[in-house]
Structure 1
Amino acid sequence: MEHQLPPYSDGVNVCLDELLYYKQQCIKWLPPAKSLWSQMLGQHQSRQLGRGMDFSEVRQYQAGDDVRAIDWRVTARTGKPHTKLFSEEREKPVILYIDLSQSMVFGSALLLKSVQAAHIASLIAWLSVSQQDRIGAVIDTGEQLIELKPTARNKGALALMQTIVEVHNQQLTAPASQHQSFDHALQALTRLCPKGSEIILLSDFSRFVTEHEPKLRRLCQHNRVRMVQISDPLERGQTQFRGTEQVSNQQETRWLDFSSRQTRQGIESAFLDKEQQLRQLAMTMGISFSSLSSESALSSQLYGQ
């Protein structure tokens, strides 16, 4: 992996130039390239981000038509074979959930998790624009939700970039406070997203608990949902630090001895348990699950540069 900051980035603050950089990067996933999601999931079957097919019409079967598209109801009613025609979806809403709460404003290596979230959000936004989809977002600071309605072309992406920069940099100096439940974010997404949306959750999911599963399941009923878990090496017990440090998860504060292998293994075990629960949940709901780390640039994790 490449431990070098992306262009225009210092790993802590977020500026417009570093998010605009991904406008040029998205060409790597335009047809006939592999899709962003097939790259992240280690699969190679999908060609475009969330692109599907809309039903268009039924007409009489013609030689060369795909027999799998035969409409058997119309065929039975008319006595003549008919086939379904489909057209490619256009201007599908792509809605990002971007977690910029306090647990995301953390990094022990190259980047803050929140900065990595801003980078992948930017890449997805520009890719959506290039594919003529509308882009919207729910940005979660933990205390408030900022909703951006799906908007077409560069206008939607630029509004999102500017909001991310403003909100993220405010979060760097925000005082510690009690956070709203993840439940509020799922409610906002259900309200904001038109049916048939592509919903991408960018978070460490530290506030997600089993009580939130029904609302997530409801969100999946009429939309395609993807989960991207963003983590830091320290959360996996990976650190060169060997001293004692005070740590907090907003609910409690304690001292941890990082020179103890048992401590580091305990941290790793707790993280892997949580990750496995998320993966299992995603599998049962038909949600694609992928992960990113804050220890290296986004580009090196997606296509090995």
Structure 2
Amino acid sequence: MKELLKKLRKYEIQIRKAINSQMQGDFHSIFKGSGLEFDDVRTYQYGDDIRTIDWNVSAKGHGTFVKTFKEEKEQTIFFILDVSGSQEIGDTGKQKVDIGKEICGVLALSAAKEGSQVGMVCYSDQKERYVKPAKGPKHAYEIIHNIVNLKPQSAKTDLSKAILFTLNTLKRRSVMIFISDFIDEGYFHNLKGMARKHDVVAIRITDKRETGLPKLGIVPVFDKESKKTVWVNTSFGNFRSQVKKNYEENEKELTLFAKRHQINFVSIDTNEDYVPKLLKLFKVRNKSLKSV
């Protein structure tokens, strides 16, 4: 636990230093949210988020107007962390679930130091752990303690249920940081609903083992969610290419969905340094939300 905290603090400091130097004081919050408190209206400008258009004012015939907002003093950052069996892929200590926990810990520390309320739910196909949003570094460390010591009761995945739990729990508009491999079906409808009500950031965790299957002939494959072993012929026909194709199609579908519904999306592999990608994500968010 001490080693993990040391690592998370180092990453958190690294992120803050990079933000301060790259943004040159223009970036007052790495979690800058959109539309948390109505302020005024102004004329629509190219590039504005269409979700901010005030249709009642625009209908008066004097042009198109958008709502402008100011951030509330107590912004809520809420993490949805997928802890299902499909996350247990990767090298020891660098499985998808490990990287997801690290990212959640780093961002929780950053959010707490900014004065935001921070909360979290760990989900499989059921609620595994819930931490109510609260303020302060001590609360961030409580979140880290919870995710480090968590032993999920179920290995199955149900992202729709995770989203519904969050929607029913948080009524006030918040920044939702969803960390998962997003390997599931039928959750787009609920995710769309979440994106309408909240500011959503989707962080997809991947591992090369999921697409880079070697030719090993007939091998046993253990499904951690169903707890069953099946035998597959990795050398037969186009088995490996089909697996890769399905994976790439799933990624493309998720990327397009995120873009369509104004969801900030980033994909991170277990064997890469995730800090640069997080920095790029924050930079994009700041640029796109600056006019809001």
In structure 2, the partner of 1:289 is: 265
In structure 1, the partner of 2:13 is: 27
Residues 236-270 of structure 1, C-alpha deviations (whole Å, 9 max, x = no match): 2x255745422244457532344568332222111
Residues 140-194 of structure 1, C-alpha deviations (whole Å, 9 max, x = no match): 1444332111110112211111110111xx34xx6xx673632221111112224
- Cα–Cα, structure 1 residues 195 and 295, in superposed 2: closer, same or farther, change >3 Å? same
Asked whether the 8 Å contact 2:218–2:234 carries over to 1, the reply is yes
In structure 1, the partner of 2:4 is: 18
Asked if 1:263 corresponds to 2:244, the answer is no
1:164-179 matches, cutoff 5 A: 164-167=147-150, 170-171=151-152, 179=156
In structure 1, the partner of 2:283 is: none
Note the aligned Cα RMSD (angstroms): 3.6
- Cα–Cα, structure 1 residues 90 and 25, in superposed 2: closer, same or farther, change >3 Å? farther
Asked whether the 8 Å contact 1:98–1:137 carries over to 2, the reply is yes
Return the alpha-carbon distance in structure 2 between the equivalents of residues 68 and 281 of structure 1: 25
In structure 2, the partner of 1:39 is: none
Asked if 1:215 corresponds to 2:190, the answer is yes
SS at match of 1:277: helix
- Pick aligned residue for 1:135 from 92, 114, 118: 118
Give the TM-score of the pair, scaled to structure 2.
0.73
- Pick aligned residue for 1:150 from 133, 139, 144: 133
Letter of the 2:220 counterpart = Q
Unaligned runs of 5+ in 1: 1-14, 36-44, 59-65, 74-83
Asked whether the 8 Å contact 2:89–2:95 carries over to 1, the reply is yes
Asked whether the 8 Å contact 1:246–1:255 carries over to 2, the reply is yes
Unaligned runs of 5+ in 2: 46-55, 57-66, 281-292
Return the alpha-carbon distance in structure 2 between the equivalents of residues 54 and 229 of structure 1: 25
In structure 2, the partner of 1:12 is: none
Moved more, 19-28 or 239-248: 239-248
- Cα–Cα, structure 1 residues 90 and 244, in superposed 2: closer, same or farther, change >3 Å? farther
Deviation at 1:85, TM superposition (A): 9.3
- Pick aligned residue for 1:230 from 205, 215, 221: 205
Which of these two proteins has the greater Rg computed from alpha carbons?
Answer: 1
Return the alpha-carbon distance in structure 1 between the equivalents of residues 69 and 123 of structure 2: 37
Moved more, 15-24 or 184-193: 15-24
Give the TM-score of the pair, scaled to structure 1.
0.70
Asked whether the 8 Å contact 1:91–1:132 carries over to 2, the reply is yes
In structure 2, the partner of 1:186 is: 163
Letter of the 1:25 counterpart = Y
Asked whether the 8 Å contact 1:113–1:231 carries over to 2, the reply is yes
Deviation at 1:301, TM superposition (A): 5.7
- Cα–Cα, structure 1 residues 188 and 57, in superposed 2: closer, same or farther, change >3 Å? closer
- Pick aligned residue for 2:221 from 229, 241, 247: 247
Moved more, 91-100 or 248-257: 248-257
- Cα–Cα, structure 1 residues 194 and 110, in superposed 2: closer, same or farther, change >3 Å? same
Q: How many residues align?
A: 254
Deviation at 1:204, TM superposition (A): 0.8
Asked if 1:117 corresponds to 2:100, the answer is yes
Asked whether the 8 Å contact 2:204–2:268 carries over to 1, the reply is yes
- Cα–Cα, structure 1 residues 232 and 109, in superposed 2: closer, same or farther, change >3 Å? farther
In structure 1, the partner of 2:176 is: 199
Residues 105-152 of structure 1, C-alpha deviations (whole Å, 9 max, x = no match): 221587211001011111111111121111100101444332111110
Letter of the 2:264 counterpart = S
Asked if 1:49 corresponds to 2:30, the answer is yes
In structure 1, the partner of 2:251 is: 275
Identical residues among aligned pairs (%): 19
